[in-house]
Amino acid sequence: MPHVTALTVSAPAFEHHREPIGIGESAPRLSWTVETGIPGWRQRAYEIELSDGTVTGPVESEQPVLVPWPGPELTSRERRGARVRVHGHDGSVSDWSPWSWAETGLLEPADWQAGAAGPPLELLGVPDGPALLLRRDFTVRGPIDRARLYVTAHGTYEAELNGRVVGDDVLSPGWTSYGHRLRYRTHDVTELLHEGANAIGATLADGWYRGRVGFLGGKTNIYGERTALIAQLEITYADGSTDLVVTDDGWRCAPGPVTTASLYEGEHHDARLLPAGWSEPGFDDASWLPADVLRHDPATLVAPSGPPVRRTETLSPVAVLTGPQGETILDFGQNIAGRLRIRVQGPAGHTVTLHHAEVLEDGALALRPLRSAVAEDRYTLRGDGTPEEWEPRFTTHGFRYAQIDGWPGELDPSDVQAVVCHTDMRRIGDFACSDPLLTRLHDNVVWSMRGNFVDLPTDCPQRDERLGWTGDIQVFAPTAAFLFDCTGPLASWLADLAAEQAELGSVPHYVPWVPLAFDTIPTAAWGDAAVLVPWTLYQRSGDLDLLRRQYTSMKAWVDQIASLTGDDHLWDEGFQFGDWLDPAAPPEDPGKARTDHALVATAYHAWTTTILAQTAELLGHDADARHYAELAQAVREAFRGEFVTPSGRLACDTQTAYALALTIDLLDGPAQRERAGRRLVELVAGDEHRIGTGFVGTPLVCDALASAGAYDTVYELLQQRNCPSWLYPVTMGATTIWERWDSLLPDGSVNPGEMTSFNHYALGAVADFLHRTVAGLAPAAPGYRRLRIAPRPGGDLTHASARLDTPYGPASVSWTLEDGTLTVTATVPPGADAEVDLPGSAVREVGAGTHTFTAAL
Ligand code: BGC
């Protein structure tokens, strides 16, 4: 048997989980990657063994990604190991992979014995008031085999057992459409318990449930007026018997040190108010009030499909600045989402104030962009003569700078750290090139993704908004899916989208939906997220089940627009955001784009209808596939009839209009496409190679130019430094992607517009083009089963590279250009293959392995 040791198989992954404890799938699909030096290696068959004795024997299949669960379905609390062995077409057989283990959570509503224990009304302040403490004692009867805490809340919580914080997640349970889906987490707490007296507790804040959320004053009490903890501690003893400790009326409540906790306002903590030992056994809670048991619906409780928010990095200040009034301002050198951690010593009752901002204006914190979010944390010292460490727990801010007021004595900058907090996704992709500004632009995109995946995909992390705007993630999803493994988190968000859509009859502007200023009227490019985000995730992860789960939602969206547009198929009525933030739109009217809203909307209708037809075909809904393919054709014809001249000019002479027509394939034949491509080049040149697109055109304009072969123009745009351009913010010192092309004006002042965030990922959607075309690493089949290696060097770049942990394993492309010779080195993971398309060369096919190609340019 050849090559037994030349093949190594990774321990299988379960679904999209990073830590498969408390999973919600009873038949989790398995994925693995193979490492081998055998050129062109392909899997012919796999074998799976489960710890319950299930063995599949060799299953003829080339698929190592999301393979069906081979054993009996898991029930609640079941733990199962899995390992894999693979056979190659060349006769090679691997050794068994290491085992990996998954454990289910509580899969049935009936598994939940826990009630919702809420602080009594006497303790409950106004929304965004104090965080409250809940606790109870319990006894562990004997030696423990294992213990699990299943926990969630109406509000945000931090749980403790015997004086120790449970888990390292923050802002749990995060924000979902709570009325439909409330995620719980499962913690292995075996090590936190001991025989005899124990105590469990939690600090409970209002969070998204009851605190203020949204712009224009926002709303409070969105999901209810009462916060509550839902906790179920299950202890399994060595003798097999079990005990349950659940939230019920045996819990007691009191105020704690957190006197104010608000996502927007910040957190105030008075360390003198901490009841010492409150979550330890034997604490005297006689003066505490009994919790009320409130109604909750266990049917809404779901296991997470991705990782929680965690502290992912700590930054030290890079400079200590003095503001115009003598303020002490720390610069952390990077705009982030998170909060500060301080170490301070001083007199009891003394208060330190921490104020956050993304940018400075005239040397002081620029607070106007935060609108009504106060973003101020306060710590009042216990003052017992020892250093005190503090980090707020129930708030987060978008900031690079922090003003520190009231610091007792001399501030040592190392006593203040910035703690980066976001969904703890696995980083999978990267990009670099010889232009440091372009590489920094890419880094800024990564930071904006980190700043805006704070549990859900948001528009911004700093002002009174931070909502799951559908349009923003719709345009950014291809980039997001390359940078981090976000399939799990976005699958959860899409489940919310579908639930909200079913309830509201349309895809809301943001998910979760909070009724604020306007109704849930369908809008193009935003509502189209219902179709395009699942499709993108399928392309990148190969997860067909995700499309299956979203199909009803995808179809409902397209049907809704089809009935709205009627027989003429033109979407030319009703409110639209359109090409939002077109650089020509005035600061106070970001929707006043040059591109006709009807053109944008009709183009999107054609696009999502086409994708829906393809989805239907993949899922075997043949009649649907035919119906939507015909509808897409009709919409295309309607588009052409209304917006395209016979020669290929568009009724709207804008970069965005041509970008849409060219990338969505709305034109009729090569002659029209050639004319449209030429016109786009003329338009970009007419704008002195500055960007002329908003949210809609920005992700498409480079691809549109590339489809016309206009790479010179692509690079003129990409490497442009004058405003507006992708690099202008970089030249102004940006460390994240800005909401506006000119959030900071060339004179260094903040754009006067109401909407001026410095951390919005949408305009960073160009990173997907950097990956696919500048570096040249693109998917050619779902899940990167086939790669397209097609770099298109240009501008003054002398090298570029991208790497990606695809579902099949690590892939990379790296090129250098020297004396007119392009040298490309590409790695194709085992089990995948690639088409290699280099400028001036015929397309080649290659299999797994590392390959080098050269081409004369
Ligand atoms: C958000 C955007 C969002 C937009 C709707 C803004 O307030 O920050 O990113 O998509 O509204 O057009």
pLDDT tens for 150-173 read 999 999 999 999 999 999 999 999
Residue identifier of the C-alpha nearest atom 7 of ligand 1: 755
Residue 3: what pLDDT? Answer: 40
Residue identifier of the C-alpha nearest atom 2 of ligand 1: 459
| Residues 334-386: tens digit of each pLDDT | 999 999 999 999 999 999 999 999 999 999 999 999 999 999 999 999 999 99
Q: What is the mean pLDDT of residues 635-645?
A: 98
In ligand 1, the atom with minimum distance to the C-alpha of 591 is: 12
In ligand 1, the atom with minimum distance to the C-alpha of 215 is: 7
Q: Give yes or no for residue 292 CB within 6 A of ligand 1.
A: no
Q: Give yes or no for residue 510 CB within 6 A of ligand 1.
A: no
The whole-angstrom separation of Cα 804 and Cα 784 is 10
Nearest to 426 by CA among 7, 13, 4: 13
- How remote is the CA of residue 549 from the centroid of ligand 1, in Å? 27
Q: How confident is the model at residue 755 (pLDDT cuts 50, 70, 90)?
A: confident
Which amino acid type is present at position 688? E
Q: Give yes or no for residue 596 CB within 6 A of ligand 1.
A: no
Q: Give yes or no for residue 527 CB within 6 A of ligand 1.
A: no
Q: How confident is the model at residue 299 (pLDDT cuts 50, 70, 90)?
A: very high
Instruction: State the residue for tokens 């509808």.
Output: 631
For 3, residues 6+ apart whose C-beta sits below 8 A from its C-beta are 36, 38, 88, 90, 92, 93
* CB environment 271-301: b (16+ within 10 A), e (fewer): beeebeebbbbebebeebbebbbbebebebb
Q: How confident is the model at residue 277 (pLDDT cuts 50, 70, 90)?
A: very high
Residue 684: what pLDDT? Answer: 98
Residue 6: what pLDDT? Answer: 87
- How remote is the CA of residue 720 from the centroid of ligand 1, in Å? 26
Q: Which is more confidently placed, 201 or 3?
A: 201
Q: Are the C-beta atoms of residues 544 and 538 closer than 8 Å to each other? A: yes
Q: How confident is the model at residue 4 (pLDDT cuts 50, 70, 90)?
A: very low
Q: Give yes or no for residue 465 CB within 6 A of ligand 1.
A: yes
Instruction: Please check the confidence at residue 2 and state whether its pLDDT lies above 90.
Output: no
Structural domain boundaries in the chain: 8-104, 109-305, 310-423, 429-775, 786-856
Residue 767: what pLDDT? Answer: 98
Q: Give yes or no for residue 459 CB within 6 A of ligand 1.
A: yes
- How remote is the CA of residue 501 from the centroid of ligand 1, in Å? 19
Instruction: Please check the confidence at residue 417 and state whether its pLDDT lies above 60.
Output: yes
The catalytic residue positions are 465, 739
The whole-angstrom separation of Cα 776 and Cα 772 is 5
Q: State which of 216, 592, 743, 755 you would mutate to test the pocket of ligand 1, scoring each by most atoms of that ligand within 8 A of its C-beta.
A: 755
In ligand 1, the atom with minimum distance to the C-alpha of 755 is: 7
Q: Give yes or no for residue 460 CB within 6 A of ligand 1.
A: yes
Neighbour count for residue 502 (Cβ, 10 Å) = 12
Q: Is the pTM of this model over 0.85?
A: yes
Class of domain 109-305: mainly beta
Its CATH architecture, for the domain 429-775, is Alpha/alpha barrel (1.50)
Phi-psi region at 831: left, alpha or beta (left = phi > 0; alpha = psi -120 to 50): left
Residue 518: what pLDDT? Answer: 79
Q: What is the mean pLDDT of residues 263-267?
A: 98
In ligand 1, the atom with minimum distance to the C-alpha of 470 is: 10
The whole-angstrom separation of Cα 797 and Cα 438 is 10
Q: CATH code for 310-423?
A: 2.60.120.260
Residue identifier of the C-alpha nearest atom 5 of ligand 1: 577
Neighbour count for residue 219 (Cβ, 10 Å) = 14
Instruction: Please check the confidence at residue 803 and state whether its pLDDT lies above 80.
Output: yes
Residue identifier of the C-alpha nearest atom 8 of ligand 1: 459
In ligand 1, the atom with minimum distance to the C-alpha of 590 is: 12
Instruction: Please check the confidence at residue 294 and state whether its pLDDT lies above 50.
Output: yes
- How remote is the CA of residue 327 from the centroid of ligand 1, in Å? 33
| Residues 83-103: tens digit of each pLDDT | 999 999 999 999 999 999 999
Q: Give yes or no for residue 471 CB within 6 A of ligand 1.
A: yes
Average pLDDT, the chain: 97
Nearest to 125 by CA among 45, 217, 221: 221
Helix (H, G, I), strand (E, B) or coil at 490: helix
Q: Give yes or no for residue 580 CB within 6 A of ligand 1.
A: yes
The whole-angstrom separation of Cα 713 and Cα 596 is 24
In the DSSP assignment, the letter for residue 95 is P
Residue 5: what pLDDT? Answer: 52
DSSP 671-740: HHHHHHHHHHHHHHHHTTT-----TTTTTTHHHHHHHTT-HHHHHHHHT--SSSSSHHHHHTT-SS--SS
In the DSSP assignment, the letter for residue 830 is T
Instruction: Please check the confidence at residue 203 and state whether its pLDDT lies above 70.
Output: yes
Neighbour-count burial of 324, counting CB atoms closer than 10 A to its CB (0-12 exposed, 13-18 middle, 19+ buried): exposed
Q: Give yes or no for residue 469 CB within 6 A of ligand 1.
A: yes
| Residues 105-141: tens digit of each pLDDT | 999 999 999 999 999 999 998 999 999 999 999 999 9
Instruction: Please check the confidence at residue 672 and state whether its pLDDT lies above 50.
Output: yes
What fold, for 8-104? Immunoglobulin-like (2.60.40)
- How remote is the CA of residue 469 from the centroid of ligand 1, in Å? 7
Residue 834: what pLDDT? Answer: 98
Residue identifier of the C-alpha nearest atom 9 of ligand 1: 459
Residue identifier of the C-alpha nearest atom 11 of ligand 1: 469
Q: Tokens representing 338?
A: 């998170």
Give me the percent of the chain exceeding a pLDDT of 70. 99
Residue 520: what pLDDT? Answer: 86
Residue 651: what pLDDT? Answer: 95
Q: What is the mean pLDDT of residues 430-451?
A: 98
Q: CATH code for 786-856?
A: 2.60.420.10
Q: Give yes or no for residue 577 CB within 6 A of ligand 1.
A: yes
Q: Tokens representing 150?
A: 């299943």
Q: Give yes or no for residue 303 CB within 6 A of ligand 1.
A: no
Q: Tokens representing 295?
A: 């109604």
**693 φ, ψ (degrees, to nearest 5):** -120, 155
Q: What is the mean pLDDT of residues 780-793?
A: 98
In the DSSP assignment, the letter for residue 775 is I
In ligand 1, the atom with minimum distance to the C-alpha of 459 is: 9
Highest mean pLDDT range out of 511-525, 580-594, 699-713?
A: 699-713
Residue 439: what pLDDT? Answer: 98
- How remote is the CA of residue 522 from the centroid of ligand 1, in Å? 15
DSSP 488-519: HHHHHHHHHHHHHHHHHSS--SBSS----SS-
Residue 743: what pLDDT? Answer: 96
Q: Give yes or no for residue 761 CB within 6 A of ligand 1.
A: no
Q: State which of 459, 756, 759 you would mutate to test the pocket of ligand 1, scoring each by most atoms of that ligand within 8 A of its C-beta.
A: 459
Is 310-423 in the same CATH topology as 109-305? yes
